[in-house]
């Protein structure tokens, strides 16, 4: 219970950083923390107490992995999500560097003011 709640606390902190900070790099950091917390929450949901990793080792009977393994489905989907997060972060940083070249600042409000 408390582990789920702490993961959601991490989510709220990332959301706060995304909403309240003026610096664009800080906003990117907030998005990254939010992503981390959601990935952790999904993996926590699939954990079975005393569970082993869903990998069939040599000499291991197949019934054992069905009885003792952790949930493999969130793991596969989170693997996808982590890699997509990297691509999206690269795109965001590229846009930020372009904005910095144009306005010489990372400050969100100044960029807004310059729009006219």
56-95: contacts with other proteins (CB under 8 A): 56-57, 62, 65-66, 69-73, 75-80, 82-91, 93-95
Cα 80 to Cα 5, 18, 53: the distances in Å are 24, 23, 18
- In whole angstroms, the minimum distance from the beta carbon of 35 to other proteins comes to 10
Cα 64 to Cα 59, 60, 69, 108: the distances in Å are 11, 7, 8, 55
> Which residues between 18 and 57 bind other proteins (CB under 8 A)?
19-23, 25-26, 28-30, 32-33, 36, 39-40, 43-57
Residue count at the site for other proteins (CB under 8 A)?
82
């Amino acid at each position: 219970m408390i582990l789920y709640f702490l993961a959601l606390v991490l989510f709220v902190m990332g959301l706060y950083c995304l909403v309240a900070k003026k610096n664009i790099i800080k906003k990117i950091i907030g998005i990254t923390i939010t992503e981390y917390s959601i990935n952790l929450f999904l993996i926590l949901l699939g954990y079975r107490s005393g569970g082993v990793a869903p990998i069939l080792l040599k000499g291991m009977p197949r019934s054992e992995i069905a009885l003792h393994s952790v949930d493999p489905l969130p793991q596969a989907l989170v693997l996808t999500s982590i890699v997509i997060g990297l691509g999206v972060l690269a795109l965001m940083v590229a846009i930020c560097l372009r904005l910095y070249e144009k306005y010489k600042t990372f400050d969100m409000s100044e960029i807004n003011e310059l729009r006219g």
